[in-house]
Amino acid sequence: MSKVEQQNRQSWNAATLAHNSHKGDQAQFFRRGGSTLFPEELELLGELKGRSLLHLQCNCGQDSLSLATLGALVTGVDIADEAISFATALSRDTGIPAAFHREDVVQWLRQAASQGLQYDIVFSSYGVLCWLPDLRAWAQGVASVLKPGGRLVLVEFHPFALCFDEHWALKYDYFNTQPMVFPEGVGDYVAESGEGLLLSGETEGMQEFENPHPSVEFSWGLAKLVGVLLEAGLRLRKLEEYPYSNGWKGFKQMHEGPGRRMYAPVGQAGVPLMYGLEASRD
């Protein structure tokens, strides 16, 4: 694991403890039939019953278990020790089966391909690509573990939206190719988003969380993403852009619409805040 990946691993370990401190009794939420999935993911994913599904950057496994309740045979991979530990415990406590692995996703994909592992669906969502130092290696890894006819489903925050700071001022270069260091590390976006990300009931949790570990992010434009997927031999089947973000209230004065969709302030020109993509291996 590189120095950058190790740095991000530490930052995510600290942030994960803060995030889960706000989320109430998550095991009870799932035992009562709860799901953390949004309609956009479900529409792109389609029928899941009996499908083998690889969930990359699965975080603490809430979406993974939601997918498993729909009949998918789920394997989750994430770089953060705290996330995988929590996901494994949540699977055990809910009785919802899923397998979880702590590893850098590109390294894990290489190992899986060497073992001949293949999946019907590879899925990833929300704030994932910015943590990948090598997008081409990720795309090739995804293609290597998809069965013929298998699909990549990605729902992600739009790279243009990530050019703004929290006050909607353009700050970051869309075409930046250099790593960006954030001394403040991964923040407590769960607390900042409130009910948008707190389906299992809110608890006070950690207050005024400060991450002791800086983080490093990478900027990947939409054309770059599509290019590396095509280069890896995948066929683009669908690409949708949305004027809202699901659950995440990442900017000031965002207003919430139906279904926990977060929109730009009233009166502000709309910009794409999220996109959904489906690509397949022929």
Pull the structure tokens for residue 233: 């031999």
- For the segment 69-94, the average pLDDT, to the nearest whole number, is 97
- For the segment 116-140, the average pLDDT, to the nearest whole number, is 98
Check residue 194 and give its pLDDT: 62
Check residue 87 and give its pLDDT: 97
Q: Which region among 119-128, 195-204, 224-233 has the lowest average model confidence (pLDDT)?
A: 195-204
Beta strands in 113-249, from DSSP E residues, in sequence order: 119-125, 146-157, 180-182, 215-217, 234-242, 244-246
Domains and CATH numbers, the chain: 3-281 (3.40.50.150)
Q: With a cut of 80, say whether residue 183 has pLDDT above it.
A: yes
Q: By the 8 A CB rule, do 105 and 141 touch?
A: yes
Check residue 203 and give its pLDDT: 60
Check residue 22 and give its pLDDT: 82
Between CA 232 and CA 70 the distance in angstroms is: 29
Q: Which region among 33-42, 201-210, 267-276 has the lowest average model confidence (pLDDT)?
A: 201-210
pTM for this one? 0.94
Percent of the residues in the chain that have a pLDDT greater than 70, as a whole number: 95
> CA angle 127-128-133, nearest 5°?
125
Q: With a cut of 80, say whether residue 192 has pLDDT above it.
A: no
- For the segment 181-185, the average pLDDT, to the nearest whole number, is 95
Check residue 272 and give its pLDDT: 97
Q: Which region among 25-34, 61-70, 145-154 has the lowest average model confidence (pLDDT)?
A: 25-34
Q: Which region among 61-75, 201-215, 264-278 has the lowest average model confidence (pLDDT)?
A: 201-215
Check residue 1 and give its pLDDT: 72
Q: Which residue has the higher pLDDT, 192 or 247?
A: 247
Check residue 208 and give its pLDDT: 79
Confidence of residue 190 (pLDDT cuts 50, 70, 90): confident
Confidence of residue 193 (pLDDT cuts 50, 70, 90): low
> What are the two backbone dihedrals, phi and then psi, of residue 37, each rounded to the nearest 5 degrees?
-80, 150
Between CA 80 and CA 116 the distance in angstroms is: 25
Q: Kindly report, residue by residue over 130-144, the tens digit of the pLDDT.
A: 999 999 999 999 999
How big is the chain by its Cα radius of gyration, in Å?
18
Confidence of residue 24 (pLDDT cuts 50, 70, 90): confident
DSSP alpha helices (H): ranges in the chain? 3-20, 26-31, 39-45, 62-69, 81-94, 105-114, 135-145, 189-193, 222-231
Confidence of residue 196 (pLDDT cuts 50, 70, 90): low
Between CA 156 and CA 196 the distance in angstroms is: 16
Confidence of residue 198 (pLDDT cuts 50, 70, 90): low
